[in-house]
Structure 1
C-alpha cells in the first residue's frame, strides 16, 4: 500500500514578501550606482544652495537654526520624494523583460509582489535619509531634537517614501511606459516641492501658495521632520502624521489593485 503524500503547502505571505525583497535587493546591489548617484542632488542643495542663501538665516522666520538647519529637513523629504517617484521603473522593466508574467503565473500573492519591492525601496530610502542627515551635519546643521528627533524625521521620510513608491508602482503597472511614468513624476514632484515649506517658511510665501502648502503632504512631512530635528513639533503634527499614514495605506491598496488589473488585462 503506497503512502499518501501530503500536498505541499505554499509559503506564508511574509516568506513570499521576503523572497521578492531579496530579489530586488540583489538587483539594487548590482546597480548600486543609482541610489548613490541620487545622493549628489542633496549634496548640491545643502552645500551649494544652502551656502548661497546662507544670509537668509538672519531673518526671524528661520529662528535660531539658520538657513542650513531650516533647509536640511526639506532636502531630506525631497530626496525620498524624487527617489520614490521613480520606484515604478523597476516594474516596467519587469514587464518588458517578461519577469512580471513569470511572477503572475507563480503562487506568489499579488500583494507580496508589491510589498516586497516596496520594502526594498524603503530600505534604500532609509539609508539615503541617514546619509542626508550626515551631509547636513557636515554642512553646519545641528539637531537639537537629538537621536529620537532624528529617528522621528527618518520615520516620517520613510512614510512619505511609502506613499510615492506605492503610487509610482501603481502608475507604472497602469501606464506600462517609462515615458509616461517619468512625465507624470515630473509633473507631480516639482509642484509638490515648491508649493510646500521645503525651502521657505509659509509666512514668506504669497497667500495662495500658503493655502496650497497647508494641504500639501510634502509640507506635512517637512514640518514633522523639522519638528523632530529641532525638538519643536508643529501644533498640527498629529493630524499631519495621520494624513500621511492614511495616504500610504491608500497608495499601497492602489498599487495592489493595479497589479491585479494588469494580470486581468494580459
Structure 2
C-alpha cells in the first residue's frame, strides 16, 4: 500500500510540475489572473463605496466588507476556466498519449488541481495585499487571513474540479466557456459577495444560503473580523470540503469516461 501511495504521490507531483512549467512559459496568464482582482477591487470598491451609508448595511467600511467577496470571486472565476487546459490537451493529442501511460487517472486530475490551487493562493495573497493598500482592515490578524485563504482554496478546489469534469465530458472550448459562464455569473450575484444579505431581496437571500460562494465569503468575513464565529467557520468549511470531495470524485470519473470513449 505504501508503494502504491508513493507512486501516486510521485505521479501527481510530476503532473503538477508539467502544468507549472507550462504556466511559467506563458506568464501573461498569471499576470492577467493577478490583475483581474486588482481591477475588481478598484472598480467595485469605488462604484459601490456609498453603499456603506445605506441603513442596515452593517459595516462602516465597504472596502473591508468587499475584500472577502473579491477574494472568493477571483478563485471562483479562475476555477471555472481551469478545464481549458484539458481541452488544449485533448485537441493537441497530449491527453490521449498520457492515457496510454501507466499513470494513475486520478493523478492526472489531482496534478492539474494542485497547480491551479497554487495560482489561486497567489491570487488570494494579492487580493488581501491590495485590499490593505486600498484601506481595508483585517481585525482577525494573520490567523483570520489564513482562514480566509483556506476557505478560498476549498472553493477553488470545488470549481476547478467541476471545470475539469465539464471539459472532459464536453471536450469543446465553446461549450466549457458557455457552461462556466452560466454557473459563475448567477453564483456571483446570488451571493453575499458584493452586498450583505440584509439588503438582498428575500428570494436572493434564500438562494444565497445554499450558494458555495456565500459559504466561503461568510468564513472569510467572520475570520477577518474582531468577533469570530468559529461554529460558522467550521460548518461552512465542512460543507465546502464535502462539495470539493464530491466534485473531485466526479472529475476522476469524467477522466475515465473520456478514456473509455477512445
Residues 12-161 of structure 1 mapped to structure 2, 5 A cutoff:
12-59=7-54, 61-161=56-156
The answer for unaligned runs of 5 or more in structure 1 is 1-8
- Report the CA distance shift for 1:168/1:56 in structure 2 as closer, same or farther (over 3 A): same
In 2: Cα distance, 1:64 partner to 1:216 partner: 22
How many equivalent pairs are there?
A: 258
CA positional deviation for 1:59 = 3.6
Contact 1:224 1:233 in 2 (8 A): no
Determine helix, strand or coil for the equivalent of 1:240.
Answer: helix
Aligned residue for 1:246?
242
RMSD of Structure 2 on Structure 1 (CA): 1.6
CA positional deviation for 1:192 = 0.3
- Report the CA distance shift for 1:103/1:72 in structure 2 as closer, same or farther (over 3 A): same
Contact 1:92 1:172 in 2 (8 A): yes
CA positional deviation for 1:40 = 2.7
Q: Deviations over 1:38-96 (max 9, x none)?
A: 23332222123212222222345444451110011000000000000000000010011
Instruction: Give the greater-gyration-radius structure (CA).
Output: 1
Runs (4 or more) in structure 1 with deviation over 6 Å come to none
In 1: Cα distance, 2:118 partner to 2:57 partner: 32
Q: Deviations over 1:190-248 (max 9, x none)?
A: 00000000011111011101100011111000110111221434553322111100000
Contact 1:10 1:107 in 2 (8 A): no
- Report the CA distance shift for 1:231/1:109 in structure 2 as closer, same or farther (over 3 A): farther
Q: Deviations over 1:116-166 (max 9, x none)?
A: 000000001001100111111111101000001000000000010000000
Of residues 36-45 and 221-230 in structure 1, the stretch that sits farther from structure 2 once superposed is: 36-45
In 2: Cα distance, 1:231 partner to 1:13 partner: 42
In 1: Cα distance, 2:6 partner to 2:239 partner: 34
Aligned residue for 2:232?
236
In 2: Cα distance, 1:72 partner to 1:140 partner: 10
